[in-house]
Chain A
């Protein structure tokens, strides 16, 4: 593994993780570090358990073996109060947005603010408006219900809710899937800006090669039930593993690389 910095630099540490559904083993002996202040992109073929890994780290699925520490604490061993403290420090964007369908977008964003911080409602509304606007939604989206929004807008609303408490750590499950290319590029830019200004650490599951180029500091590749490569894009690209070769060497991978080259040249 590439982890050789100070232990306190790692905001997430996964060691010897094993997860399984019944007999089917998803991960075995999986190690992964996420360093403070970086954007880590997790890639892998369909069914390699990228989303399962994310769900295990955020405590929704209990691992069969191994340890996961987030902010230096093992979530599954922690008492309820510590778990709550941890939950307040991370934000999660689920694949479909997972907005509460009986609340408007603004109420969705206000929900964690009011539950955890007990702020006056005028201030909570201002915060909601700020996050909604920062996520790239128009102001009139605030009073709409999730079912009235398009898929891309739901995703942005989900991001607004994930950012509601100014988390230190942000989990994104395929954030740009289903967005148009312009929207996806803006989303990438937004994540990078947030990382810079808020010092966010981002754990991002993605298929989007452009996102990998545009925003990720390091990339972890999932295959064969573990992380087969982890490091900066240039380093991972040179890996001899056949899946990685095909991933970056395929037509889409090359197109994304070319686009990046053109950017640098211009």
Chain B
């Protein structure tokens, strides 16, 4: 393609400005002359102008707009100012754009940066307040729906519950198993190095068993489920919200709580204890193998030592926490899904929020449990 350019000459004709537009006035060529044209326009506002377009080779809407803009700005007496020499096609273009010259804002109006910052801070605080109220009301709503459904068990959507048990529970077994196996091994390695200095090698059993049973097993399972299933819940429900499927459920007389939220909640509350148990067992396996390989503590010795010193309460502490974590993850995942609005961007934000909030709450809850069990000496 030949490099064409947009050109113009300015002259005076009997005291009236005369502009001669030449060449290829299509959008792609207007960049270089835009600055000069704007300067000219500012200098000549309110004087009269005759624009001669007879030498124009090519014109598109952008070029026609620029010509019209200059013409408008520079017209004082309508009987003097005119655009002359337009071919029929160019005249049609010039006419086409004439009514559409009003500028429009590109972004919502901005304000003072400091005020905006304060505004965001205040909005953040108020939003956090209302968001926590909304979460609380969502929890209440979920619990009351759950109570309603449990009194009429035929209304539990079993297919859906089992589907989510498979999706969120069974399919997560390999990754959770592998992670907790590795964490158990790492804990044993760490303990081995320090305990050997005191000649207390055998205490590695206590370390691994207590750490994995009380904390790591359930926490690891919960963290993985929050990342894996909490985000999926938000994305699934959020997409349905965007596509108005939630509204469709409502107008069909189906309760979204019952159809979407409760099956996910039940599935997680059932599956997370199972996953926590599995994680604990594999963590101990990992720790035991490391103890055997690097410290010559045989599996028999490991198990005997465990039976002698580790009380059952350690196991229960881990498992009791699991349904609570599951509840938090399912509630936050579904709640954030329901809060999605309109756009793909909002969906992304909500999925992020869902994971961050459920991880945060799981860990806060874990800290409370730790204090609680310490106080009651369990």
Please classify the interface of chain A as helix (H, G, I), strand (E, B), loop, or mixed, using the class held by over half of its residues: helix
Q: A127-B65, A165-B27 are in contact. Are A139 and B104 (CB under 8 A)?
A: yes
Q: A102-B345, A146-B343, A166-B62 are in contact. Are A125 and B31 (CB under 8 A)?
A: no
B101 → A minimal CB distance (Å): 7
| A198 with B61: CB separation less than 8 A | yes
| A140 with B343: CB separation less than 8 A | no
| B62 with A120: CB separation less than 8 A | no
Q: A117-B31, A166-B60 are in contact. Are A134 and B97 (CB under 8 A)?
A: yes
Give complex CA distance A106, B272 in Å: 48
Give complex CA distance A194, B96 in Å: 8
Q: Which residues of A contact B102 (CB under 8 A)?
A: 129, 133, 139
Q: Which residues of B contact A145 (CB under 8 A)?
A: 343
| A120 with B93: CB separation less than 8 A | no
Q: A131-B61, A134-B97, A199-B89 are in contact. Are A126 and B345 (CB under 8 A)?
A: no
Q: A145-B343, A147-B343 are in contact. Are A127 and B62 (CB under 8 A)?
A: yes
The bracket for how many chain A residues form the interface is 35 or more
Q: Which residues of A contact B35 (CB under 8 A)?
A: 120
Most buried by A among B93, B107, B108, B342: B107
21 A-B pairs, CB-CB below 8 angstroms?
A: A101-B344, A104-B107, A106-B106, A110-B106, A117-B27, A119-B27, A120-B31, A120-B35, A123-B62, A128-B104, A128-B106, A129-B102, A132-B104, A133-B100, A134-B100, A142-B105, A144-B108, A147-B342, A147-B346, A166-B27, A197-B96
Indicate if B103 sits at the interface (CB-CB under 8 A): yes
Indicate if B26 sits at the interface (CB-CB under 8 A): yes
User: A102-B345, A147-B343, A197-B95 are known contacts; what are 20 more A-B pairs with Cβ within 8 Å?
Assistant: A106-B106, A113-B27, A119-B34, A123-B34, A125-B106, A126-B65, A127-B65, A128-B104, A128-B106, A130-B65, A130-B101, A134-B61, A134-B96, A139-B105, A143-B104, A143-B105, A143-B108, A143-B109, A145-B343, A193-B96
Q: Which residues of A contact B96 (CB under 8 A)?
A: 134, 193-194, 197-198
| A101 with B65: CB separation less than 8 A | no
The bracket for how many chain B residues form the interface is 35 or more
A130 → B minimal CB distance (Å): 5
Q: A133-B102, A140-B105, A199-B89 are in contact. Are A127 and B27 (CB under 8 A)?
A: yes
Give complex CA distance A110, B105 in Å: 12
| A143 with B106: CB separation less than 8 A | yes
Give complex CA distance A104, B104 in Å: 12
Residue interface mask B106-120, A partner, CB < 8 A = 1: 111100000000000
Q: Which residues of B contact A166 (CB under 8 A)?
A: 26-27, 60-62
A264 → B minimal CB distance (Å): 24
Indicate if A118 sits at the interface (CB-CB under 8 A): yes
Indicate if B255 sits at the interface (CB-CB under 8 A): no
Q: Which residues of B contact A127 (CB under 8 A)?
A: 27, 61-62, 65
Q: Which residues of B contact A260 (CB under 8 A)?
A: none
Give complex CA distance A139, B61 in Å: 18
Q: Which residues of A contact B34 (CB under 8 A)?
A: 119-120, 122-123
A36 → B minimal CB distance (Å): 14
Closest to B342 in A: A147
Q: Which residues of A contact B109 (CB under 8 A)?
A: 143
Residue interface mask B332-368, A partner, CB < 8 A = 1: 0000000001111110000000000000000000000
Q: Which residues of A contact B30 (CB under 8 A)?
A: 119, 123
